[in-house]
Structure 1
Amino acid sequence: MQIEFKATKRVEQGTGASRRLRRAGQIPGIIYGSGEAQAIALDHNELYHLLRKEAFHASILSVNVEGAKQTVLLRDTQWHPFRQQVLHLDFQRVDASQKIHLKVPLHFANGDVSPAVKLGGCMISHTITEVDVSCLPGNLPEFVVVDLANLQAGESIHVSQLPLPAGVELVAHGEGDPVVATAVTVKGAVAEEGAEGEAA
């Protein structure tokens, strides 16, 4: 499901113009990439609610600029330091034939039924919550599932073990194979085992 929202062309630019827009309940924004950059104004209320959705940050979006639809990705969001107010949004145009690079959230599943939790008294520590991927826009997943069903006490799941959809590649940063999730023994469980050992 593609998320669509509306925008209008913004003629006036500069700090004063942006301030007036915000007072009127609008957000200044820009669409750039493959062609001329286009200054736009967006409805603050509509975008504030969309920004609260995980999918809005990791999906191909459709922006309707006065009747002309453009396919874009959200690239940057500027927030007010202490108010719940969006100050500026950057969008990048998407070409269906060009690969994109984007952070995709991880969804952890079956942690409560894993042997580490059920039998080992462990907690699952989520070391990272998103991964960088590269793919064509049509292959972009909204999220990647991390299945914890077989995780044993003391074991970890690494980035290289994540199941990726066809046409999607991981973008590696630096050396090694980062840990995604680890089964960590809870201190209370260790203390209980120790006490049982002493009693025996």
Structure 2
Amino acid sequence: MTDKITAELRTEFGKGAARRIRRADKVPAVLYGHGAEPQHLSLPGHDTMLALKKGGSNALLTITIEGKDQLALAREVQSDPIKGFLEHIDFVAIKRGEKVIVDVPVVTVGEAVRGTVVTTPLGELRIEVDATKIPESIEVSVEDADAGFQVNAGELNLPDGAVLSGIEDDEAVVIVAHAPTAEQLDAELEQAEADAGIERDEPEVSEAE
């Protein structure tokens, strides 16, 4: 199931028209795809924001345009950096059963052994997947994992029919290592300061009277 949003076709363009749309609590948007001419739309602001939050970074919506439903994948979402309201959205039209290439966040769950640190070198994983089966994230359990634990891309549980895109199977996705000691952190800081040309002040030593 996807969230359904009713859109209006836009006939006015430019910055002034976009401002008027946003003042009416609506969002200007464009729908591309399948060789058709781009459709310039106006969407209800509140409902659209809720649908995007629910769907995550690859939200799939059903957009109703003049009575006809169209599956659409959010490709680029622009929002105001201070106030947070939606400024503009680019959608790509999708046919049911069609596969798309998307970037999905990698999320670790559970707690690794004390004294270790968990890193996710990739952060996101690029996969080719059915547009209606895009996961919000790809979870990797690190429960009780000790230093030396590693999960590679080819070992992940992907949605049915999904495949990696542009990533080798042996590429590390999650790594658990020993946490650095205070001495190691200080040494790394000193090296970074030296590389940046920063000199530390030597502590003053008072002479005994």
Q: Same fold (TM over 0.5)?
A: yes
Contact 1:74-1:91 within 8 A present in 2 as well:
yes
Give distance in 1, aligned partners of 2:97 and 2:49: 30
Report the 3-state secondary structure (helix = DSSP H, G, I; strand = E; otherwise coil) of the residue aligned with 1:151.
Answer: coil
Contact 2:52-2:59 within 8 A present in 1 as well:
no
Higher RCO structure, 1 or 2 (CA under 8 Å, sep 6+):
1
Q: Which range moves more in the overlay, 44-53 or 156-165?
A: 44-53
Contact 2:148-2:176 within 8 A present in 1 as well:
yes
Give 5+ residue unaligned stretches, structure 1.
192-200
Matched, 1:73 2:66: no
Report the 3-state secondary structure (helix = DSSP H, G, I; strand = E; otherwise coil) of the residue aligned with 2:176.
Answer: strand
Give 5+ residue unaligned stretches, structure 2.
185-209
Which residue pairs with 2:23 in the alignment? 23
Task: Give the deviation of 1:138 after TM superposition.
Answer: 4.0
Give distance in 1, aligned partners of 2:169 and 2:12: 49
Which residue pairs with 2:41 in the alignment? 40
Give distance in 2, aligned partners of 1:48 and 1:68: 21
1:143-194 CA distance string (max 9 Å, x none): 3221224633133222222122321001115x78432222132235999xxx
RMSD (Å) for aligned C-alpha atoms: 2.6
Report the 3-state secondary structure (helix = DSSP H, G, I; strand = E; otherwise coil) of the residue aligned with 1:127.
Answer: coil
Which residue pairs with 2:163 in the alignment? 169
Contact 1:27-1:88 within 8 A present in 2 as well:
yes
Which residue pairs with 1:52 in the alignment? 53
Which residue pairs with 1:194 in the alignment? none
Which residue pairs with 1:153 in the alignment? 147
1:46-82 CA distance string (max 9 Å, x none): 22333333x3422432112343211010000112243
Give distance in 2, aligned partners of 1:5 and 1:58: 16
Q: In structure 2, give the amino acid aligned to 1:146.
A: V
Give distance in 2, aligned partners of 1:145 and 1:186: 22
Q: In structure 2, give the amino acid aligned to 1:106.
A: V
Report the 3-state secondary structure (helix = DSSP H, G, I; strand = E; otherwise coil) of the residue aligned with 1:41.
Answer: strand
Which residue pairs with 2:87 in the alignment? 87
Cα pair distance change 1:176/1:56, threshold 3 Å: closer
Contact 1:139-1:167 within 8 A present in 2 as well:
no
Q: Which range moves more in the overlay, 162-171 or 55-64?
A: 55-64
Contact 1:132-1:170 within 8 A present in 2 as well:
yes
Report the 3-state secondary structure (helix = DSSP H, G, I; strand = E; otherwise coil) of the residue aligned with 1:160.
Answer: helix
Q: In structure 2, give the amino acid aligned to 1:154.
A: G
Q: In structure 2, give the amino acid aligned to 1:12.
A: E
Contact 2:51-2:59 within 8 A present in 1 as well:
no
Give distance in 2, aligned partners of 1:147 and 1:101: 24
Task: Give the deviation of 1:4 after TM superposition.
Answer: 2.4
The structure with the larger Rg is 2
Contact 2:51-2:61 within 8 A present in 1 as well:
no
Cα pair distance change 1:85/1:139, threshold 3 Å: closer
Report the 3-state secondary structure (helix = DSSP H, G, I; strand = E; otherwise coil) of the residue aligned with 2:8.
Answer: strand
Matched, 1:180 2:173: yes
Q: In structure 2, give the amino acid aligned to 1:157.
A: V
Which residue pairs with 2:10 in the alignment? 10
1:19-65 CA distance string (max 9 Å, x none): 21112221110111022211111122222333333x34224321123
